[in-house]
Amino acid sequence: MIPENLTIVKARAGLAQGDFSVEELFSHYNKKIADKNRELNAYLTVFEKPDTEIKEGALAGIPCAIKDNMLIEGTRTTAGSKILENYIASYTATAVTKLKKAGALILGKTNMDEFAMGTSTENSAYGPTKNPLDTSRIPGGSSGGSAAAVAADLAVFALGSDTGGSIRQPAAMCGIVGLKPTYGRISRHGLIAMASSFDQIGPLTKTVEDAAIVLNELCGHDIFDSTTVKNEIPDFTADLNKPIKGLRVGVPKEFFNAGLSNETEERIKETIKKMESLGCDIKEISLPNFEYALAAYYIAVPSEISANLARFDGIRYGHSVKNGENLIDTYFKSRTEGLGSEPVRRIMLGAYALSAGYYDAYYLKAQKVRALIKKDFDEAFKKVDVIVGPTAPNTAFKIGEKVSDPLALYLEDIYTVPLNLAGLPGISIPCGLGSASKMPVGFQIIANQFNEATLLRVAHQLEQVLK
């Protein structure tokens, strides 16, 4: 009998002790997906047989899920869009290749907001994913399928991508762990780009230790991604049990503003008190440009989107109409049929922000604000070791509740986008349930660039107390 809610650590132990075989474990998860996926819509594509033969490695025999914006050669990759409904990948993303080399077995590709644009996984062309803890609610986004798969135990762990909170926010909504590494820590080669200077791949797991194990396998310089760094890669599991007594913890006063729900604020403040009980030195700090982060993000990101999505034109690959009168007509009709309302909205915003006469007023100004936000974090990290606060202002809301108000959905990213603007690592861990909604609250921990080891250590120590 295979236990429920296996972590990587427990699955490895079970395989090593012969409690179950690799084949039995994979088959177990396949059956669970067949039973539950119709209700949750977490997976878009399911692989019935493992395609990895490696029996050794840190992840040998561990079944996982991959967000459907990462390429796997010979398989369908949709990015949650109709324009790529029948696209078969011609190569495999570096992050996926690294998982396979470590022996991980891929169960399938998970649902997501179209081209990763959204915070609820309601923008998928293939229907919304449901939160396994309450199927009337959203699982967060854009990596909602990956988060739901892990939370429902339809995978031991999953990969997601984070452009403005798309790993951390669904992790918070589903009550699991979500890690966004430093920009440049993990290769983006084979990740369908949303905004190239923001996107980062990372793990969604059941525990912080599992996140550290997966991160160990994903990091490193890649010749196919010039933004990856050649930094030495530590063993991220090495210091997890080292006490955090004396650690300086910054709490930005700007995080506790009018938009934060009472039930979230209660849990966050309780968790900060628990950090104090572990011997941490809690300091109030200020991030003066925090209030401009969301506005800067929603100028800079659509600008990059408008450039990145130009390739989906109905000519090179993806959906193409057969009744175009000429080349321009084919472009227009293919994109109209293939792209949903959110990509169209962001392409138009980005094209406007980059257009002659508006570039300086919008895009250039957003980039200047981005530099100021990075400077705020640089100053803060001279005084503190980590910064903490909420992952999202609310717990998971009802499906359809905010779908007609894009601005309300954008505000769900208020605490996560500053990290992507500054390229910093962040993690969301569950810190209890909201008193009113009875849904999970996410606690976000932020560290300085390439300091994931401290980030994971703090999160692991806190996780032990919160359990």
Active site residues per annotation: 67, 142, 166
Strands 157-162 and 63-67, sheet pairing:
parallel
Whether the CB-CB separation of 61 and 173 falls below 8 Å is answered with no
State which H helix or E strand residue 159 sits in.
Answer: strand 157-162
Per DSSP, the three-state class of 287 is: coil
Strand partners, 430: 442
In 243-402, which residue ranges form alpha helices assigned H by DSSP? 262-277, 293-308, 327-338, 341-354, 365-383
Per DSSP, the three-state class of 249 is: strand
Tell me which residue of 302, 289, 449 sits closest to 371, measured CA to CA: 289
Residues 6+ apart with CB under 8 A from 40: 129, 130, 132, 135, 148, 152, 154
Helices 208-218 and 94-101: angle between axes, nearest 10 degrees = 110
Cα Dmax for the chain: 70
